[in-house]
Amino acid sequence: MKSLLESRQHDFTGGAIGGSDGIIWFSTPGFYPNSIEFKIMVKAFDQTSELIYTGFLFQNIQYSIIDLTKNMMIAECSGGNSLILLKNSNVFVFGFETKKILRDSCHKACIDIMNVIVNEKLYEQY
């Protein structure tokens, strides 16, 4: 999975893959994710979570959730940065970007990575 993530690192500022509990397995070079932030973000998928209304901190920046489905969350901050978190019962894929021009490629890369992980059942190794 690490090589899969690294093969798409040109599509986002930083990315990570981890367990559905928020524990990080791999991240792109130069991105040092905080497990506590991911454990909080994953809670947004709970329909009773206050994060839906209050947002959350990522790298000490406040993000607001702008789109949330059963398996996908998209959030933005006032500076224009965005992030995407995809989740299923076994794994999450995360990507963020600091340049608006990368937003679509970041989201597509995360979706592509998740599809490979699920289709090939790569999460079963962890």
Class of domain 2-75+83-91+106-125: alpha beta
Q: How far is CA 45 from the centre of its chain?
A: 12
Q: Where are the domains of the chain?
A: 2-75+83-91+106-125
As a whole number, mean pLDDT of residues 21-26 equals 88
Mean pLDDT, rounded, of the chain: 90
State residue 101's pLDDT score.
63
DSSP helix, strand, coil percent of the chain (3-state; round to 5): 40, 30, 30
State residue 16's pLDDT score.
95
* Distance from C-alpha of 54 to C-alpha of 61, rounded to nearest angstrom: 13
Interval 81-98: pLDDT, tens: 999 999 998 899 999 998
pLDDT at 7 > cutoff 70: yes
Cβ–Cβ < 8 Å for 110, 9: no
The residue with tokens 């600091």 is 98
